[in-house]
Structure 1
Amino acid sequence: MDYASSILGLLPTGRRSIGVTQLLNKLETYLPPAQVDRVRDAYEFGAQAHHGQKRLSGEPYIAHPVAVADILADLHLDAQTIVAAILHDVIEDTATAKEEIAERFGAEVAELVDGVSKLDQIQFRSRAEAQAESFRKMLLAMVRDIRVVMVKLADRTHNMRTLGAMPPAKRRTIARETLEIYAPIANRLGIHSVKSELEDLGFKSLYPGRYRIIERALKKARGNQKQFVGKIADNLRGGLQKAGIKGRVEGREKHLYSVYQKMRRKRAPLNSIVDVFGFRIVVDSVDTCYRALGLVHGLYRPMPGRFKDYIAIPRINGYQSLHTTLFGPNGMPIEVQIRTEEMHSVAEAGIAAHWQYKSGEDQGRAYRDRASEWLQQLMEMQHGGNSEEFMESVKVDLFPDKVYVFTPRGEIRRLPRNATAVDFAYSVHTDIGNHCVAAKIDRRLVPLRTPLRNGQTVEIITAKGATPNPAWVNFVVTAKARAAIRHYLKGLKHSEAVELGKRLLNQALSDLALALKKIPEERIQAAASELNLKSAEELFERIGLGERLAPLVARRLMPADAQAPAEPVPQSGPLAIAGTEGMVVTYARCCFPIPNDPIMAYLSSGRGVVIHREVCGNLHNYRKQPDKWLSVAWQPNLDRLFNVEIRIDVTNRMGALAAIASNIASTDTNIEHVAVDERDGDASTLIFDLQVRNRKQLATVIKNLRKMPEVMRVTRVLA
């Protein structure tokens, strides 16, 4: 007896239903005999490789990959995917090499198996990072071949079915991961049957008490409403038959997790949710869908505002149906979905419909292309940043609550709710997002942070020299936009830090009678290596970000036979601040330094140079680290605006705030923010955040304000 037969015989009687015989019988209904034989061969190979291994439940390990393959067979996946499912753990859990799989079953199967394998060989700083990196690998493998995630989802589905063998803490961790990551991926790919099962199984393991309560309530409601539901179904069937419409009517089984989510979202009690009846009408064509809609609206009165046409505008995952809610008998709400047979198959199988409908190439290709578009966006997201950032970005993208807007050419763009004009720009193309300067919604100019609403037409205005604004990160909602902006800013901050680091190092070298341009490149590279840095550029960046002190690095760069000057060399002068250094030079918001203020700078690790006024009250906090202080001075004739705060005590009278704002505006000064702090019944304190060019402009503002009769005192804010 061979290994495969002996192990099949060892399967407990209750487990034989997911044995290889059932799998092969299922495959014979849609695969040619030669391909079924390949699957049988893979089973024998896998059974031998896993011989002697058992799951925590005590059953032979081969039962798991066979069950995974069985789930994929229900979705009519191709033979290569079924073979990969049976072999998906042999590289990780046995001595089998990828090359051995490639030699026996082909390179395509070997790549699929490798794509599903976990990253146990890599050492990570934390479990969260390990999980995120494994997740990143899975998603990027999907980009090469989307069948990788099909196997992964089936693998997770069977693991969730058999989760009872795990310790409670482990069950909760796996269940939460399933609800946060795997079920949303199944939903994003339109595989409703897998998504629903993963959600219910995850819900049951994470919140067993809540699951039992809702399950009991639904069973009770189902028993009480059986006759009622049958009567409505008969009415719908009779109406279709009378109108000469061929189709079938199905009652929709309630999905426990969706009931729970609806209760949380609407903050509604359970009895108000379970009283919604669900029916599905499946017909032969799109035209018939709309005819059936008119018919049901004739049988039962529709609820206003509860109709959705997902046929004309499909969901992001390719789902199509007409949704309507009706007033049933006694005012009871009835939910009805109307779709074609093809739409029904896609609603259940999603991207897997591509393999089911080889004859209907257009149908399959549409869903495959939609998934591929999303996967390409994942590729763009993963540039820059660590694995955990990438995982958080994808999580944002996996929970779409969409709005539908139009390009000026009439193309539909699907975006998450609260998406802005900037999100729209990046959804069209990363370059358009990076260069956008303004937006028009329905031909009217609007701020870039304006949230979009359904049905709007959005036009983006770009400029050749424009760059992303760091503030955009605070209001964009799409993962693609956030990742693109962060990627650009990281590159920008790097170049700015390198440039500042060179300036700081050059200044420190001048104190030693040296100059950076006279130091050999080999010596700089050697100093970087001594500090465990990869390159001279990284050394300059660390100095610019305040993570390495320029004077200490300067001493490392001194020639071996040179000595530090006994007498201090006259300094080349303070570091000149031009106001254009970008993100590596920041201006402290405790004292708001502006040009012509006497200033000092502090090297803050990771932030670079932070500028303070010399009279700032916070400076004493940094006195213990004199080596991190830096002498700085303003460059003359700076052409940019700086923020400053002033405090104005005024007598309370109607129109005082408007009069003061008008006075400030008359000096060509921009008001960024106003706060009112009422002190007592007769007087109030107003705090204005202004943008000025220098002390002279600020002095003009304060002088004008002091002349106003309602102004009691004007002072500049200082920590």
Structure 2
Amino acid sequence: MNSALPTLVGAATEPSTDSTRFLISDLCAELESYLAPEQINEVYRAYLFGAEAHEGQTRKTGEPYIYHPLAVARTMGEMRMDHRAIVAAILHDVMEDTRTSKERIRAEFGAEVADLVDGVSKLTHLQFQTKAEAQAENFRKMMLAITRDIRVILVKLADRLHNMRTLGVMRPDKRRRIARETLEIYAPIAQRLGMNRMRRELEQLGFAALYPRRFAVLDASVRQARGHRREPMQKIEAAITHRMEAAGIEARISGREKGLYSIYRKMLDKRQPFKKIVDVFAVRIVVADVDTCYRALGVVHNLYKPVPGRFKDYIAIPKSNGYQSLHTVLFGPHGSPIEIQIRSAEMDRVAESGIAAHWQYKAGDDHAMTAQSRAREWLKDVLEIQNSVGSSIEFLENVKVDLFPDEVYTFTPMGEIMVLPRGATPVDFAYAVHSDVGNHCVTARIDRQLAPLSARLQSGQTVEIVTAPGARPNPAWLSFVVTGKARSGIRHCLKSLQSDEAAALGRRLIEKALATLGQGLGQISPVRMDQVLDAMKIPDIDSLLVEIGLGNRMAALVARQLVGQEPAQEVCEGSGSALAVKGTEGLVVNYGRCCFPIPGDPVIGILSAGRGLVVHREACRNLGELRERSDKTVSLEWSNEPGAEFAVSVRAETANRRGALAEMAAVIADHGSNIEHISFNERDGHSTAMTFTITVRDRRHLAQVIRSLRRLNDVLRVQRSRG
């Protein structure tokens, strides 16, 4: 530090004389190891600014508030962050808790620091319906700030870490809420960014605060196990050290203990007691470089036999957060399993600090840059999710899905590695490649074999996505995709499709309603249209058409308003010429699964709010009094050329004979029909009743299928199911 700075520090009045308290002088001394003197002066100036802004404020602990920003800055200093990030750490609460504006921070410390402070600040000036919505919007703002500058989350994590260290002074209910939020959001974010040291402490503190009794019991169990394992572990470490020396390998060998929260989660996931969790203790071997990692692996495999199927090479294929290491499990003395982790010194540093390692060491460090690039890739996906979701709560849920990636490593046909969460499907893979690929995928080839889009991917598989220009997402995909990017992409595309299709249906409904009044939509003057839209508080005609198409507004009532007529006592949507349906209208025209209408059936339309038009057979038993509700019904007829296949239910009774079902399935397939579902109900020992849901083009096609089924020797009776 330059000679002027000690005088400056000495001139300051410290808030406390407690020698154990971390002071600004301690921070400056720590920063001397890697920052320039003028940068340390800037940090000190920020301290004076923050101390003045927080003058008179105290924390729940009773200490002056400035101690908290100093503690946050200390954590940032331990991560070897740049001076602007440390300045932002000292000032991170001044916008929220004092009258200091962003403009003043920009004037004093520059736009970069002001943006960092703003990104960390909470949304205190907005009103929300619920606390959950406020927390979700808070999280959304933070994540968007991170996409602009990754240092925002590092300040936020350091802030949360100090809050967790001083959580004991909070009310029990608030303590539990903060602890749960830490375990569900902040610790997983730290893990996603490869910051394992930060993640472990957040999990430990969060676990102790949320489940104090479980923490105490598990802590006692680990302490007891540690005592029993101390001597065997020392012997294992000594044996490994001896073998490494004999092989001429310089290595740092140390025992590692799994975090209590990780043990707790494993006990829950595997539903096992503590005594059956075998990887509580492990041995970490740190060597000079990548080549030596593989040499060291050979040494330990010659010392103890490896457990088959438990070797993982995260050096060749790093984890999604940049983590690299060799993992293997060995049969130790007396057959007890030993987990071994082997990595280089650079890998060890990145494994502990993750993305923060980018600032600790200069450019050219490939390992640190791997963590940085993978974090950027994840944040790019976060930004894409933000652009395609509606509410903040939906955004939070989608991102939380991606914060727990138990990874599967798959390959594109060109050999590029795609890292996905466990349980991922070809649809998740397609959206990971690009949103357009996901939106237009129709099937997939896994290791060159056709596979359904719902198949669960396994590590090592090569996945090829087959797309078609006219394809679009299926709502059923939402039941099996696992990534937030795929889920938000499907929902966004479906919402857009539904709006377009609802507008098209709404136009047909309003034109039909206006025709009964001797008008057309093009004949309504712009002035009259604006008056009606203002009265309804709808921004434009497209939004009005969407509302009508979704069944939220009656076309007949809107038509009367447009032509200036008073609404009649009895408004009949079904009056006038019938609306033609053909099966390709999309998401806003649905077909009742109670009666399965098909072309040729007399049909009626029921307007359902939010769903649009639901088509039923006129004889459907479920309609009940709805059939008499003229405000809910629409007269329908089938188009001369239906453009789709329709589901229909067929009931068949067959003799109990092997191969009967196969014969029926073959007949159905021969007629170009597809079986969607089969249910069985054995009536007695001689016959079985089955209900098929099959697809047909119209009543004639269905009649052909039924006639062919009746010709089979084992079929006793076949008929169409009645709604």
Q: Would the TM-score normalized by the shorter structure come out above 0.5?
A: yes
Mapped partners of 1:121, 1:675: distance in 2: 57
Structure 2 match to 1:437: 442
Deviation at 1:627, TM superposition (A): 0.8
Q: Which runs of structure 2 are paired with 1:589-628 in the superposition (5 Å)? A: 589-623=593-627, 625-628=629-632
Label 1:71 to 1:564 Cα distance change in 2 as closer, same or farther (>3 A).
same
Deviation at 1:5, TM superposition (A): 8.3
Of 56, 60, 85, 2:60 maps to: 56
Match of 2:463 in 1: 458
SS of equivalent to 1:128? helix
Instruction: Select the residue among 483, 487, 495 that pairs with 1:490.
Output: 495
Paired letter, 1:429: H
Residue 9 (structure 1) aligned to one of 15, 22, 30: 15
Contact 2:574 2:633 in 1 (8 A): no
Query: 2: CA distance between counterparts of 1:132 and 1:461?
Result: 36
1:98 has 2:102 as partner: yes
> Which of 182, 201, 212 in structure 1 is aligned with 2:216?
212
Alignment of 1:299-698 (within 5 A): 299-382=303-386, 383-559=388-564, 572-623=576-627, 625-698=629-702
Give me the whole-angstrom Cα distance separating, in 2, the residues matched to 1:563 and 1:178.
Answer: 57
> Does the 8 Å contact 2:575/2:635 carry over to 1?
no
Q: Deviations over 1:649-676 (max 9, x none)?
A: 2232332222222332333222111111
Deviation at 1:100, TM superposition (A): 0.3
User: Greater CA deviation, 645-654 or 202-211?
Assistant: 645-654
What value does the CA root-mean-square deviation take over the aligned residues? 2.4
Q: Write the distance in 2 (CA, Å) between the matches of 1:711 and 1:359.
A: 76
Residues of 2 paired with 1:666 and 1:106: CA distance? 75
Query: Is 1:235 the equivalent of 2:239?
Result: yes
Q: Is the 8 A contact 1:7 1:47 kept in 2?
A: no
Paired-residue identity, %: 54
Shift in CA distance, 112/568, structure 1 to aligned 2, threshold 3 Å: closer
Contact 1:545 1:605 survives alignment (8 Å): yes
- Measured in 1, the distance between the counterparts of 2:524 and 2:205 equals 65
Provide the rounded CA distance (Å) in 2 between the counterparts of 1:613 and 1:668: 24
In 1: Cα distance, 2:481 partner to 2:11 partner: 57
Q: How far apart are residue 264 of structure 1 and its match? A: 1.7
One-letter code aligned to 1:208: P
- Residue 624 of structure 1 deviates from its aligned partner by 6.9
Q: 1:7 to 1:479 in 2, by over 3 A?
A: farther
List per-residue Cα deviations over 1:288-338 (Å, max 9, x = no partner).
111111112222222222111111110000001111112222222221111
Q: Write the distance in 1 (CA, Å) between the matches of 2:50 and 2:11.
A: 12
How far 1:526 moved relative to its partner? 2.8
Greater Cα offset, 368-377 or 706-715: 706-715
Distance 1:283 1:565, change over 3 A: closer
Question: Could you give the per-residue CA deviations for residues 472-500 of structure 1, whole angstroms, max 9, x where no partner exists?
Answer: 32322222122212111111110111111
Cα distance change, pair 510–532 in 1 and its aligned pair in 2 (3 A): same
CA apart distance, 1:3:
13
Cα deviations across residues 389-427 of structure 1 (Å, max 9, x unaligned)?
111111111111111111222111111122222222221
- Other structure's SS at 1:583 match: coil
> How far does the alpha carbon of each residue in 1:76-127 deviate from its partner, in whole angstroms, 9 at most, with x for none?
1111111111111111111000000001011000000001111121222222
Q: CA deviation at 1:566?
A: 13
> Is residue 433–residue 481 contact of structure 1 (8 Å, CA) maintained in 2?
yes
Q: 1:275 to 1:102 in 2, by over 3 A?
A: closer
Instruction: Give the partner amino acid of 1:507.
Output: K
Q: What's the secondary structure of 1:582's corresponding residue?
A: coil
Q: Give the aligned partner of residue 272 of structure 1.
A: 276
Shift in CA distance, 568/394, structure 1 to aligned 2, threshold 3 Å: closer
The residue type equivalent to 2:215 in the other structure is Y
- Supply the distance in 1 between the matched residues of 2:595 and 2:436 (Cα, whole angstroms): 38
Q: 1:322 to 1:410 in 2, by over 3 A?
A: same
Is the counterpart of residue 164 in structure 1 residue 148 in structure 2?
Answer: no
| Amino acid across the alignment from 1:242 | A
238-247 vs 188-197, which deviates more? 238-247
Match of 2:708 among 690, 698, 704: 704
Letter in 1 for 2:633: W
Aligned to 1:79: 83
2:4 is matched with which residue? none
> What one-letter code is carried by the residue in structure 1 that aligns with 2:224?
K
Given that 1:11 and 1:60 are in contact with CA atoms closer than 8 Å, whether structure 2 keeps it comes out as no
SS in 2 for 1:675: strand
Q: Tell me how far apart the structure 2 counterparts of residues 12 and 529 of structure 1 sit (CA, whole Å).
A: 67
In 1, are the aligned partners of 2:556 and 2:572 still within 8 Å (CA)?
A: no
Which residue in the other structure is 1:125 paired with? 129
Quote how far apart the aligned CAs of 1:234 are.
2.0
> Following the alignment from structure 1 to structure 2, what is the Cα–Cα distance between the partners of residues 662 and 432?
35
Unaligned 5+ residue runs, structure 1?
Answer: none
C-alpha displacement of 1:12 = 5.7
Q: 1:116 to 1:570 in 2, by over 3 A?
A: closer
Of 263-272 and 351-360, deviating more is 263-272
Tell me if the contact between 2:293 and 2:344 (Cα under 8 Å) persists in the aligned partners: yes
Matched AA of 2:456: P
User: Take 2:571 and 2:74, find their aligned partners in 1: how far apart are those partners?
Assistant: 83
Whole-angstrom CA distance in 2 between matches of 1:203 and 1:228: 29
Letter in 2 for 1:354: H
SS of 2:277's equivalent in the other structure is: helix
* Cα 1:621/1:166, change in 2 over 3 Å: farther
TM-score under structure 1 length normalisation: 0.95
Measure, in 1, the Cα distance between the counterparts of 2:348 and 2:570.
86
1:644–1:692: 8 Å Cα contact kept in structure 2?
Answer: yes
Higher mean alpha-carbon deviation, 630-639 vs 77-86, is at 630-639
Equivalent in 250, 257, 278 of residue 253 of structure 1: 257
Q: 1:76–1:570: structure 2 CA closer, same or farther, 3 Å change rule? A: closer
Q: Please tell me whether the aligned partners of residues 69 and 85 of structure 1 are also in contact (alpha carbons under 8 angstroms).
A: yes
* Secondary structure in 1 matching 2:546: helix
Aligned amino acid, residue 242 of structure 2: G
The superposition leaves residues 125-178 of structure 1 with CA deviations (integer Å, 9 ceiling, x where unpaired) of 222111111111111111100101111111111111111122112222221111
TM-score with structure 2 length normalisation? 0.95
Structure 1 residues 162-171 or 434-443, which shifts more?
434-443
User: Where do 5+ consecutive residues of structure 2 fail to align?
Assistant: 1-6
> Which whole-Å CA distance do the structure 2 matches of 1:74 and 1:183 have between them?
18
Q: Shift of residue 359 of structure 1?
A: 4.9
After the TM superposition, which of the residue ranges 335-344 and 415-424 deviates more from structure 2? 415-424
What code does the residue aligned with 1:585 have?
V
Evaluate the alpha carbon distance shift between residue 501 and residue 4 of structure 1 in structure 2; reply closer, same or farther with a 3 A threshold: farther
Instruction: Tell which deviates more after alignment, 584-593 or 224-233.
Output: 224-233
- Asked whether the equivalents of residues 128 and 388 of structure 1 are also in contact (C-alpha less than 8 Å), the reply is yes
How far 1:705 sits from its partner (Å)?
A: 2.7
Aligned amino acid, residue 685 of structure 2 = G
Which whole-Å CA distance do the structure 2 matches of 1:202 and 1:569 have between them?
59
> In structure 2, what is the Cα distance between the partners aligned to 1:234 and 1:376?
46
- 2:262 aligned counterpart, secondary structure: helix
Q: Does 1:155 align with 2:171?
A: no
Change (3 A) 1:276 1:568: closer
Classify the secondary structure of the residue corresponding to 2:654: strand
Shift of 1:387: 1.2
Counterpart-to-counterpart distance in 1, 2:169 and 2:133: 26
